[in-house]
Chain A
Amino acid sequence: MIWFTWRQFRTQTWITIGALAALGAILVITGRSIADAYATANVAACPGDCATAIDTFLNQVTTSTSGTVYDLANAITYAVPALLGIFWGAPLFARELETGTYRLAWNQSVTHTRWLAAKLAVVGGAAAATAGLLSWAVTSWAHQIDQATGDRITPGLFAARGIVPIGYAVFAFVLGVTAGMLIRRTVPAMAATLAMYSAAVISMQEWIRAHLVAVSHAINPLDTSSLDTLNIGAGNQLTVVASAHLRGAWVLSNQTITTTGQLFTGPANPQYCGPDAAPQACTDWVGSLGLRQDLTYHPANHFWPLQWTEAGIFIAIAVLLAGFCFWWTRRRLT
């Protein structure tokens, strides 16, 4: 059964290996120029003026091919689990049901349960390995860039690093298998897989991930020397946001509050913040109000707890779906 699963799956395997090898080659080549830029800008040896060194390094990276590859590699790492679900998972059953070959396959001396187990283990294992290899390559390739930008935890990067892509791939694959089994037609099953996978991943990113690990809070005096926003709106309403200064953190909310803990909304004093006042006057006035910065965030060291939890959740859902597939094969499909 394992031989046959491999035989049916051979073409996809070679295509995947080819694609991974091509990406690997690109990463190896551009990885060298990143390392060169890192060394030239002397980022590693900077207790002196790190900000300048990092700026030089990042500037050189983003203006070279590596910048394009960085965006591309992130996009690919996001896309691959979905593609595995669509092209490996969904057709696994649907194609057999659609072309009628299940009537041949299920009358050899292999129980339907063993047949499903072999397929899930071999192809699912390959999906996990593909995503794992890809994520490992991209994570280690982008390591120096991620360190320089101080970001691998915010949405858009988080699921293209570490072990989360493996969880996504396993989930997408089993989701595809389940959809194929229920819908029994390849193309609709592929569409359903894409829709449900996207819904799951977007929900996770937008509403769930932030709560997987207890968030950190911090209340600091407002640092008026690094204001990100100072905006005077209608009715003298004043919006002030200071930079969070949290390297490597995922900032969920950054608010400016008054001494009594209320959200600071002004009003702006026209004497300092009016059209005739000096530019610095308003900032100084804001600094004199005793305002504080209220931060809710995941610090950089939450990266791995978040990774393990999120990957674990998706693998757990995949296991439940696989259990359903076994039950369905035994009870309903036959």
Chain B
Amino acid sequence: MSPPVLQAKGLSKQYGRRQVLSDCTLSIPPGRVVGLVGPNGAGKTTLLHIAVGLLRPTGGSIEVLGGHPASGAAQLAKVGFVAQDAPTYAGLSIADHLRFGAHTNPGWDQQLADDRITSLGLDRSQKAGKLSGGQRAQLALTLAIAKRPELLILDEPVASLDPLARREFLQGLMVFIAEHDAGVILSSHLVSDLERVCDYLIVLVASRVRVAGEVEDLLASHHRLTGARHELADLPTGVEVIEDSHTDRQATLVVRSTTPIDNPSFSVEQLSLEDLVLAYMSQTATDPRPALETTP
């Protein structure tokens, strides 16, 4: 079995006294489309920038495709990156950007780049500064794809796009995933962007990884329990409460449990991926596992 696409151990990043990434430990298996989700400012960009070598961690270690990020030309060639807001050179044309890619990447696939630009209906002589947000994102994606990376990393690729451009971008991405055997990591603050394309999910909240795993496993192991409050106060061991909302008598819990919960005194419901992520996001940073209050 090939090594993990990304392996982080106790990874952290600090700016002065501000901790933007704390003790992040991850091991992402190969061949996955990974969604990195979390609220704005959670540390998603920091994590991705560390993975591509734009930032150095202040603690811990990280390996991407078995190498240190940006440690050499070969490592850089293996990882494609589309940064947030898809930066491009405003004064340079699309053709210039493609020549830039061709000159700086030994594995450059000119055919792929040409085909994409043609199918997008873009004018090669157009300056990147004159493109719409969606077109610019597509250009940046083209550059990242045409270098034929083993791992493609995208930081909030669709955050600033309108719904149509968003769909087109994600479609382009899915075509790439289907045609090439590359891993993908993409971040978003919206689960809805990710759930159609991702089969692996990482939830990052307030600089910490809350949960990471295959989407299928996550859905199977998380449940919403509704019932009388005193019934829910006493849960079997191995059941971890993620979120707790209650009135005086009634309580609704989101729990994680590896074993099936079988108790007729409350109802057990499946969670959608969005609800699952929201449950993790609503946890406070200081208190990751809120204890249940005992009923008076």
Contacts and interface: CB of A to CB of B under 8 A. Distances in A.
B73 A103 contact: no
Contacts of A108: 76, 100-101, 104-105, 147
Given A103-B81, A108-B105, A112-B70, A7 B100 contact: yes
A109 B73 contact: yes
A101 B85 CA distance: 10
A1 interface: yes
B72 interface: yes
Nearest to A11: B91
B105 A109 contact: yes
A102 B89 CA distance: 10
A111 B92 CA distance: 22
B87 interface: yes
A214 interface: no
B60 interface: no
B90 interface: yes
Contacts of A207: none
B52 interface: yes
A334 interface: yes
A107 interface: yes
A4 interface: yes
Interface residues of A, number: 21
A107 B52 contact: yes
Given A109-B147, A334-B55, A1 B87 contact: no
A108 B107 CA distance: 10
Nearest to B81: A107
Given A1-B104, A3-B99, A111-B76, A103 B87 contact: yes
Given A101-B89, A104-B143, A334-B54, A1 B83 contact: no
Given A3-B103, A111-B72, A334-B53, A101 B87 contact: yes
B56 interface: yes
B160 to A, nearest CB: 13
A111 B54 CA distance: 11
A108 B72 CA distance: 11
B62 interface: no
A106 interface: yes
Contacts of A111: 70, 72-73, 76
Given A4-B104, A334-B54, A99 B90 contact: yes
Given A100-B85, A103-B81, A109 B107 contact: yes
B254 interface: no
Contact of A109 (B77, B85, B96): B77
B147 A4 contact: no
A319 to B, nearest CB: 25
Contacts of B147: 108-109
A212 interface: no
A114 B70 CA distance: 12
A198 interface: no
Interface string A91-117: 000000001111110111111101000
Interface of B: 49, 52-56, 70, 72-74, 76-77, 79-81, 83, 85, 87-90, 92, 96, 99-101, 103-107, 140, 143-144, 147
8 contacts: A4-B104, A7-B92, A7-B96, A7-B100, A99-B90, A107-B80, A109-B104, A110-B73
Given A109-B76, A109-B77, A110-B73, 7 more contacts: A1-B103, A106-B53, A107-B144, A109-B73, A109-B74, A110-B76, A334-B54
> Ordered nearest first, which 6 A-B pairs have the shortest CB separation?
A103-B83, A108-B104, A109-B77, A107-B81, A100-B87, A109-B105
Interface of A: 1, 3-4, 7-8, 99-104, 106-112, 114, 331, 334
